[in-house]
A and B are shown apart, each in its own frame.
Chain A
Amino acid sequence: MRKNLKKYRAPYLFILPFFLLFFVFQLIPVLWTVYISFTEWRGIGTPEFVGVRNYQKLWIDEMFWESFFNTIIYWIFGLVLIMAFALLIAVLLNSSLLKGRAFFKTATFLPNICAAIAMGLIFRMLFDENMGLINEVLAIFSVEKVPWLSGMEYSKIPVILLIVWRNTPWYTMIILSGLLNISNDYFEAATVDGANVFQKFVYITIPSIRAILFFCSVTLTVEMWKVFNESYILPGPGTSNTSLFQYMYESGFNVFNMGYASAIGVFLMAVLTIISLIQFMAKRKQGEL
C-alpha cells in the first residue's frame, strides 16, 4: 500500500483536489442538511432537535405542495418540449440539404449563452399585459389581452417558454453530436428500399441515438427539478410560479427557517434519487445497461 502510494504519488496528487472539494463542499453539506432537517434552527445559536416535526409541517403546508406541483409542471413541459425541439433542430441541422450550416448552428446555440436572469427581464417586458409585444401581436388576431404575468392560469407559461428557449440549444448540440456518428450507409440503404423521411427517422435515427436521448432526459430531469432562475425572475401572483428549490431558498434565507428549508432539500434529494433509480431500472429492463 505504502509502496503504491509512493510509486503513484503523482496521479493521486492530481486527483486529490477533486476529492477534497467534494468532501468539504458537497458531501458534508448534503449530510449536514439531513441533520438540520430534524432541528429547529434560525441560523444563529444551537439547533434544537425536533424529530420529524419539519416533515410534518411540510405535509400540511399548502405552499410546499403548490411549489411541488409547479416543479412537476416545469419538469414535464420542460422535458417534453425541450426534447422535441432539440431533436427537430438537430435533425434539421444534420440534413445534407442544408446550406450555411455553420451560421444556423451558431445562431440556434446563442440562447444558451444568455443568462436566464437577463432574459427573464426581457421576457417580462415582452409578456407585459398592457404594453408587451406579445399581446400586441395577438391583438392582430383579435385575441383579448392576456395577463401573462399576473393571471394565475397563465403565469407559468412565460417561465416554461424561457426554460425551453434557453435550454433547448444545449440538448440540440448533444443530440447533433450523436446524429453525426450514424453511418450514412443506413440511410442510403433505406433510400434504395424506398423508405421516406419519416420512416428513416423512426427506424434509423431514433434507435441509433437512443443512448444519447436517455442521457439527455436524465440530465434534463435533474435540471428541471432544480429550476430556480427562471421562476425567480418571472414570479407570478403569490406563489403560483414558485419552484421547490426556490421555496427551499426562501424558507432558509428570507424567513431564516433553516430546519424547514433543509427538510425541503432532503425531500428534493429523495425525489431526484427516486427518479434516477426508476430511469436506470427502466433502462436496465430494456437490457441496455
Chain B
Amino acid sequence: MGYGKKRHLQSIVIHGILAVIVFICLFPIAWMCLISLKDTQESLTGFHSLWVESPTLNNFKRLAELIPIGQNAFNSIFTTVVGTITSLFFCSLAGFAFAKYRFPGRDFLFYFVIATMLVPVEVGAVPLFVIMKKLNLINSLWSLIIPKIATAIGIFYMNQYISEVPDELVEAAKIDGCSDFGIYLKIVVPIIKPALASWGAVTLISRWNDFFWPLLFLRKQAKYTLIVTISLLPISEGLSTPWPVILAGTTVVILPIIILYLILERFQKGGSFAGAVKG
C-alpha cells in the first residue's frame, strides 16, 4: 500500500470514529430539544420519539404554570453572574499577589493554597449547613456565592497566567507611581483578559450546573435555582408530569449555557504579550 493511500485510509478512520463520537455527544441534547417541542398527545415510545408531528411551545407554557420559572431563572442567573465576577476578581487578585510580589512566606502560602484542594469540602456538609444557618444564609443566594469567592484552583490558574506577564511592565508602572491595586487594574487585567475569559467560562458553567450546594442551602421553591427546580419536576405533578414538559425544563437549563459557551469560546483565543511590551 502506498504512503498516500495509507494516509487517506487513516484520515477516513479518524473522521469516521470522531463522527460517531460527535453523534453520541450531541444526540441526547438534540433529542431533548426535539421532544420539548412535541405535543403531550403524541407518542413518545421508541422511534416515535424521533419525530415531531406538530411542533408546539405548549410544554414551556405548562412548565411556567408548574414552577415559578422566572423566579428560579433569576436565582440561577444571579448566583452564576455574581459568583463568576466576584470569583474572577478575587482569584486574579490573589494570583497577581503570588505571581508578582516576593513577600515573606510566599512559597509556603502558595503550596498551602494548592494543598487545600486535596481537602474535599463536601465532607463538611453537615457543619457547613450549621454555619450557614448561624450566618443567616440558609435560603439566601449568597450562601452559594460567598464560600466560592476565592477558590484554590482559580488562584492557581490565574497565578500561572499572570507569571507570564513581563516583570518590566509591573516595575515600570511602580516607578510611575502607580498604586498596587492600580497596577492590577490598569496593567494586569487588560493583559490577562483571555485567561479571565476562559476561566470565566469554566466558572460560569460549574456555577450554573451546581446542584449539591443549592439543594443543601436553599430550602423553599421561591429560592431554588433552575437545576433544583428541574430535579423535582418528575414528582411535581404527583409523579405524572408528562415527559415533554420535563424535557422542556431541561432544555431551559441546558440550551442557554450552550449558547453562552459558544459565544464565549470566541473570546478565549488570542492575547499576545508582545504588543503590551512594545506599546
Binding site for B on A (CB under 8 A): 4, 8, 10-12, 14-15, 17-19, 21-22, 24-30, 32-33, 36, 88-89, 92-93, 95, 97-99, 104, 106-108, 110-119, 121-126, 130-133, 135-136, 139, 165, 169, 197, 222, 225-226, 228-229, 232-233, 245, 248-249, 252-253, 258, 261-262, 265-266, 268-269, 272-273, 276
Contacts and interface: CB of A to CB of B under 8 A. Distances in A.
A126 B150 CA distance: 39
Given A10-B97, A17-B90, A272-B120, A97 B7 contact: yes
Contact of A108 (B22, B125, B126): B22
Which 6 residue pairs are nearest across A and B when measured between Cβ atoms?
A29-B124, A136-B46, A10-B180, A32-B127, A11-B97, A118-B250
A26 B46 contact: no
Q: Which of B98, B150, B152, B246 has the most CB of A within 10 A?
A: B150
A25 B45 contact: no
A249 B125 contact: yes
B17 A269 contact: no
B149 A17 contact: yes
B146 interface: yes
A216 to B, nearest CB: 14
A8 B257 CA distance: 41
B126 A133 contact: no
Contacts, number: 247
Given A30-B123, A32-B127, A226-B122, 4 more contacts: A21-B146, A33-B124, A248-B123, A276-B118
B147 A14 contact: no
Interface residues on B, range: 35 or more
B101 A10 contact: yes
A229 B213 CA distance: 11
Contact of A18 (B24, B104, B113, B254): B113
B46 to A, nearest CB: 3
Contact of A25 (B11, B131, B257): B131
Q: Which of A11, A93, A252 has the most CB of B within 10 A?
A: A11
A139 B45 CA distance: 13
A227 to B, nearest CB: 11
Contacts of A273: 118
B44 A131 contact: yes
A30 B149 CA distance: 19
Nearest to A29: B124
Q: Which of A117, A165, A261, A269 has the most CB of B within 10 A?
A: A117
Contacts of A26: 116, 119, 121, 124, 147
Query: Interface SS of chain A: helix, strand, loop or mixed?
Result: helix
Interface string B23-64: 011101101100100000000111101100000000000000
B172 interface: no
B74 interface: no
B127 A108 contact: no
A160 to B, nearest CB: 14
B252 to A, nearest CB: 9
B205 interface: yes
17 contacts: A8-B101, A10-B101, A11-B98, A11-B103, A12-B97, A14-B180, A15-B94, A24-B131, A29-B124, A29-B127, A97-B11, A117-B211, A118-B227, A121-B234, A126-B31, A133-B31, A222-B118
Nearest to A123: B28
Contact of A121 (B14, B125, B127, B250): B250
Contact of B29 (A88, A110, A135): A110
B132 to A, nearest CB: 9
A2 to B, nearest CB: 12
B123 A265 contact: yes
